[in-house]
Chains A and B, each alone.
Chain A
C-alpha cells in the first residue's frame, strides 16, 4: 500500500498464532498491483485529461507508473512533465478512501513546498480509479544508478556537494510550518541528480498514516532506516541517519540492503575507500550513530559540519588524499647485504645464519644478526627457490637442473641430484625424503640420506610450485594447470584442472587446501577428494602462495592487490592496493601480514583489517617472500640486496 517505486518491503512479519491476519497486504499488494499496472499502462501517444501527451514510461511503482509526458497547453514549446499515476484497486472501500486521501496529501504537501531541490507540482486530478500528479520533469538519473554506473568510487567532492545540498533540503523540510515534514525515505534511489549535477528529492509519497497502523505491521524500509524506525518513531534524527546511510553507500559502493541492519560501523568508509578524508568519514559516522541523541541535532548542524570539511579539504581545489600513515623513509634496515645479481627467491634461517639463493648463481650464508658474509656456494645457474635446512645440510634447487645439498658448516657440497630441467620448485621434506618439482615435468622424491631417487611422478607440464605435504599426501600444481594429490608411494589419489598454470604453492589445513592459479582464481579444495569447496575471483592472475591467518586466507595478485578472504564463506574481508603486481607471497607474523610488491616496497599490514602499518621501499621489484624470525623481517629485492628490518 505504500507507493515506494519499484521496491519491495523486505521486512516480513513471521506469523504467530495470534497475529494470523495482520500483514499480508503490504508486500502481496505491491506485487499484485504490479501485474495490474503492467496490463493497464498508458501507451505512448495517449492524451491524459486532454492535456498531457504520454511519451514513455520512466518508472514503475507498486501502485502505478511514472510517465514522461508533454504538456499540450504549451503548443509552441516542448514542456515536459512527469506524470505519476496511482491505480486504486483496493477492494475495501475504506482502504480506497485512505489511498485517495494519502494521494491528495502528497499533492497538497508538494504544493506548499518551494525549494530548488524539490520538484514543482503543476497539477493533480483523479479519473475513476486512477489518480495523477503532474510534476516538474527532471532530466537526469537517480543516485543509485549513478553509483552503479560509476567505475570505482565517486569523487569525494561530488558526494560532499550532494550531501550539503541534501542537508539543505532536509533542513528546509524539518523547519516547515506549521508542522515539520519528515521525509522518512532518504536513499539513493529517491535522490535524482539532474543534468546540472544538482540533487532533487523525489517521492514524497510515504505517508505516516500507513505506517502507524497496526502494531507490528511494516516497520521500516530496507537498509537505510534507523533503528528507532522499528519502534515506529520518525523524527528529524531518522532523516539524518538515512542521509548518513545514503552517503555511506555513495562513498563505499556497499549497498546497505545487502548487509545486516545497522552494520555501517562494521564497514568503516576509509577502510573500503581510503581516498575519503577522515573528516568526512567522521561526519557520516556521527549521522549513523545508533542513538538518535548522538547524531547531529539538526540537518543544518550537519550541513555546517560538511561545509567546514569542504573548506578544510579544499573541495573545489581538491587536495590529494593523504596516503600512508608512516612514510617509508622512517624505516631503517637493521642491515643490508649486496649480492651480484637480482634476488627473486626467499631466504631461510637456521641457527643464526641466513641462507638465500641469488640470480648470480650463488647460495649465500650470512650472519642473521649483522648481515656479515659467511660463505657462498656456487651453482651453475640462478637460484629462485627457497633453501631448506635438514641435519646441518642446506638443500636448494638451481637453474642448472640440479638439487644441491650443501654442508652448513663448511659451505661445501655433500651431494647433488640431477633432473632434466631447471629446478625452480622449492624442496619439501617429509619421512626421510625430499620432494620437489622440476621443469622436466616430474615430481621427484629423493632419499635424504642416500641422495637416490625413491620415485618420480610424471605430470603434464613443468612443476614450479613447492610440494605441500600433509597427512601423507603431496599436493602440487604444474604449468598446464593440472593439480595433483599423490601419496607417499607416488600414486595419484586425485587430480584437478584449473584453466591456467598453477605456479603458486599450496597451503592447507585438514579441512581445505588453498592455492592460486594464473587463471585468476583462489581455490579451496577438499584435500581428501579434490572437490571444490569455493573459488574466489582475483582481479588478475596470481602466482602468489596464500597464507593462512586464523580464519583468513591472504594472497596477492597481478592486479596489485593483497586480498584477505574468509576461509569459511569465501567473502572478501579486505584488500590492499599496492602500486604494482603482487607476485610474492604474504606471510603472517604475530598480527601482521608482510608482503612484497613489484612496486619495490615491502608492506606490513594489520592482518584483521588490511590497514597499512608501514612500508619499506627498495630500489627494485620484490618478487620473493619475506621471512620473519625473532621479530626481524628478511626480504630480498631485485635491487640485488637482502634487507633485514625490525618487524
Chain B
C-alpha cells in the first residue's frame, strides 16, 4: 500500500531526507534554473497580453462608486500581431450618487475616445498611420472626460488611472489616488503612479513620515481630480511592460487596505490572473472592506 500511495501521490520514502542532507549534488547553474522556471511558465512565441479584473462594493458601503474597464486583444498587422490592451479604473467621489456618475462617465469617455481612434487598426482592413502619439491620445481622452463630467455631473469628481498597452509600451494617464503597480515575480512591487493627495505630497516634501501618514487626519484630501478645477493636468507617461511581471491597477479600496506584501503574495502565488484577482478582492474584504474595491491585472507573455 505504501508503494501504491507513493506512486499515486508522490510521497517519498522516509529515508530520503537524511540522504539529501549528506548528498553532494552539483548545484544548478543560473541558466539551468532560468530554463526550468521558464518552462513552467506559460509561453507563446508571439507575445500575448492576458488580463483579469475583480470588483467588490466592500463591506461598509451600499453604493459602488468605482468603475472599471478591461479590454484585451491583438492588433493584426503587417509586422505581426501586436498586443492591444486598455485598462481603466476610476473611483468616484463627491459624497452622493454623483460619484458613481463621474466614475462611469470617466470610463466611458476615455475608453470610447481611445477605442474610436483604434477602430481602424482593430476592425478595418485599410488604415492610415495614426497622426497622434500615444501620449497625445491619452491626454485628449482625459480632457474629453473632464469636459463630459463637468457637464453631466457638475461638482463631482473621480480618480482615473488608465493604461493603454500597444506592443510592449504601456502609456498611463493618471489623476487622483487610484494606483498602477508593477509586480515582479521576484517579490518586488513598484508603484508607478504618484497619488495626487495631500498626504502623499506632504510625504514627498518630507514634512511627514510614512508612519505619520498612516494616521494623518486629512488622508482623503485630493489636490487633483477628474471633473474638478479649471485646468486639468493629468500625469501621462510611457513605460516598458515588465517582462516578466504584472501590471496592476486598483482603487484605494485595495491598496489602502491590503499590505504590499500580501498583494505581492496574492499575485505571485496564484495559479492564474483570475485567481489572483479573486484573492486580492477577498483580502481587501477580509481586512474590513471599508471602501469599494476594483483591481485589474495584466501580463505580457512570450
Q: Could you tell me which A residues sit within 8 Å of B by CB distance?
A: 7-17, 19-24, 27-32, 215-216, 219, 222, 227, 230, 255, 257-258, 260-262, 290, 493-494, 496-497, 510-512, 524, 526, 528-535, 568-570
Cβ 8 A contact of A11, one of B130, B204, B221, B290: B221
> Contacts A10-B224, A28-B94, A31-B154 hold; do A257 and B238 have CB atoms under 8 A apart?
no
Interface residues of B in 225-251 (CB under 8 A from A): 225, 228-231, 233, 235-240
Q: List 21 A-B contacts (CB under 8 A).
A: A13-B93, A14-B177, A14-B221, A19-B220, A24-B98, A28-B155, A216-B220, A219-B218, A257-B229, A262-B201, A262-B205, A493-B79, A511-B169, A511-B240, A524-B133, A528-B79, A529-B82, A532-B132, A535-B133, A568-B239, A569-B238
Whether the Cβ atoms of A22 and B222 lie closer than 8 Å is: no
Cβ 8 A contact of B235, one of A12, A29, A512, A569: A569
Whether the Cβ atoms of B230 and A7 lie closer than 8 Å is: yes
Whether the Cβ atoms of B223 and A11 lie closer than 8 Å is: yes
> Contacts A27-B155, A255-B231, A258-B233 hold; do A14 and B93 have CB atoms under 8 A apart?
yes
Among B61, B65, B201: residue with most chain A CB under 10 A? B201
Interface residues of B in 100-140 (CB under 8 A from A): 129-130, 132-136
Please give the distance in Å from A287's CB to the nearest CB on chain B.
17
Q: How many residues of B are in contact with the other chain, CB < 8 A? A: 61
Say if the beta carbon of B207 comes within 8 Å of chain A.
Answer: yes
Cβ 8 A contact of A569, one of B77, B135, B196: B135
Cβ 8 A contact of A534, one of B77, B82, B133, B167: B133
| Chain B residues within 8 Å of A262, by CB | 201, 205
Whether the Cβ atoms of B134 and A32 lie closer than 8 Å is: no
| Chain B residues within 8 Å of A261, by CB | 198, 201, 223
| Chain B residues within 8 Å of A216, by CB | 217-218, 220-221
Whether the Cβ atoms of A570 and B228 lie closer than 8 Å is: no
Whether the Cβ atoms of A10 and B133 lie closer than 8 Å is: no
Nearest A residue to B137, CB-CB: A532
Among B61, B65, B95, B230: residue with most chain A CB under 10 A? B95
Nearest A residue to B94, CB-CB: A24
Whether the Cβ atoms of A510 and B218 lie closer than 8 Å is: no
Cβ 8 A contact of B228, one of A10, A15, A529: A10
Nearest A residue to B233, CB-CB: A258
Nearest A residue to B134, CB-CB: A533
CA distance A483 to B137 in the complex (A): 22
| Chain A residues within 8 Å of B235, by CB | 569
CA distance A215 to B204 in the complex (A): 24
CA distance A433 to B207 in the complex (A): 58
Whether the Cβ atoms of A494 and B79 lie closer than 8 Å is: yes
Whether the Cβ atoms of B228 and A533 lie closer than 8 Å is: no
> 5 closest pairs, A vs B, by CB?
A28-B155, A14-B220, A31-B154, A569-B237, A10-B229
| Chain A residues within 8 Å of B231, by CB | 255, 257-258
CA distance A23 to B150 in the complex (A): 18
Cβ 8 A contact of B222, one of A12, A227, A529, A570: A12
Say if the beta carbon of B99 comes within 8 Å of chain A.
Answer: yes
| Chain B residues within 8 Å of A32, by CB | 154-155
| Chain B residues within 8 Å of A7, by CB | 230
Whether the Cβ atoms of B169 and A219 lie closer than 8 Å is: no
Whether the Cβ atoms of B136 and A535 lie closer than 8 Å is: yes
Say if the beta carbon of B60 comes within 8 Å of chain A.
Answer: yes
Cβ 8 A contact of B221, one of A12, A258, A493, A526: A12
Cβ 8 A contact of A257, one of B93, B157, B230: B230
| Chain A residues within 8 Å of B224, by CB | 10
Say if the beta carbon of B278 comes within 8 Å of chain A.
Answer: no
Whether the Cβ atoms of A15 and B95 lie closer than 8 Å is: yes
Whether the Cβ atoms of B95 and A20 lie closer than 8 Å is: yes
Whether the Cβ atoms of B168 and A528 lie closer than 8 Å is: yes
Whether the Cβ atoms of B230 and A529 lie closer than 8 Å is: no
Whether the Cβ atoms of A14 and B167 lie closer than 8 Å is: no
> Contacts A262-B201, A533-B133, A534-B134 hold; do A8 and B240 have CB atoms under 8 A apart?
no
Whether the Cβ atoms of A30 and B155 lie closer than 8 Å is: yes
Among B94, B98, B204: residue with most chain A CB under 10 A? B94
Nearest A residue to B61, CB-CB: A17
> Contacts A8-B230, A24-B96, A258-B231 hold; do A13 and B129 have CB atoms under 8 A apart?
no
CA distance A535 to B228 in the complex (A): 27
CA distance A219 to B220 in the complex (A): 12
Whether the Cβ atoms of A15 and B167 lie closer than 8 Å is: no
Say if the beta carbon of B171 comes within 8 Å of chain A.
Answer: yes
Whether the Cβ atoms of A8 and B135 lie closer than 8 Å is: no
Interface code B162-174, partner A: CB below 8 Å = 1, 0 otherwise? 0000111101000
